[in-house]
Structure 1
């Protein structure tokens, strides 16, 4: 048996809880807590010896989130409403979309965004056109 395996075996009972993929929400919560503690220890030091453990746990948490806590899909109208709130804009602040009444109809679902409007919004907010599709 190699020295590395012998040392790992000696410390396995202490390390093993960190080296298991989550099987339930309690496991997930424990890994998230461990990741927070590890990030406090490593800070911004990408060369820290524990960064490989941060990467492993981070990947498992991300995998769990994608499978068990998926982000809902946002429509282009949802994104538009969000961006308007974030930027403190009113319906009349979007002349490239149309008049205030046109923007109102889009936000209420009575009208859909067309390609010209989507291109204008993408440029206005510095995002890809796919954001509004």
Structure 2
């Protein structure tokens, strides 16, 4: 009986949820999904048990799949990848609290500091990339 209620609720709300679970096919749809993922992450925060955590994970998978097919990231230092992502999304140095203070971001972008594993994982979670793209091996 409970399944019927769940299915009924899913059907009633599917038109709102489906776009969040649909792989983007254009850059516009990609940008929209990235923005929506940022909104979901703002609600879920770091709580992996949050009711939206699974949705955020699936959205990240869709974004990553589009990136791999349409927007491959060339091998580049982590600081250059971060700079490109920031430019693409219109972010300033103070818009990355998961990396650290604005001064830390500045040092990374200028090459004075490398992105550490914690920062790479946080950036990967936020932007839907593999943490490896931010690390310099």
Shorter-chain TM band? 0.5 to 0.7
Please say which of residues 48-57 and 63-72 is displaced more in the overlay.
Answer: 63-72
CA distance in 1, matches of 2:52, 2:60: 12
**Match runs of 1:35-54 below 5 Å:** 35-54=37-56
1:10 is aligned, of 4, 9, 12, to: 12
User: 1:57 aligned to 2:59?
Assistant: yes
For residues 112 and 30 of structure 2, what CA distance do their matches in structure 1 show? 35
Pairs within 5 Å for 1:1-133: 2-74=4-76, 86-87=111-112, 131=137
User: Which structure has more RCO (C-alpha within 8 Å, separation ≥ 6)?
Assistant: 2
Measured in 2, the distance between the counterparts of 1:43 and 1:8 equals: 24
- Contact 2:44–2:53 (CA under 8 A) maintained in structure 1: yes
With normalisation by structure 2, the TM-score equals: 0.52
Looking at structure 1, the residues matched to 112 and 29 of structure 2 have their Cα atoms a distance apart, in angstroms, of: 39
Greater Cα radius of gyration, structure 1 or 2:
1
Moved over 6 A (4+): none
Deviation at 1:73, TM superposition (A): 3.3
1:95 aligned residue: none
How far apart are the structure 1 equivalents of 2:30 and 2:73? 17
| Cα offset, 1:11, TM superposition | 1.0
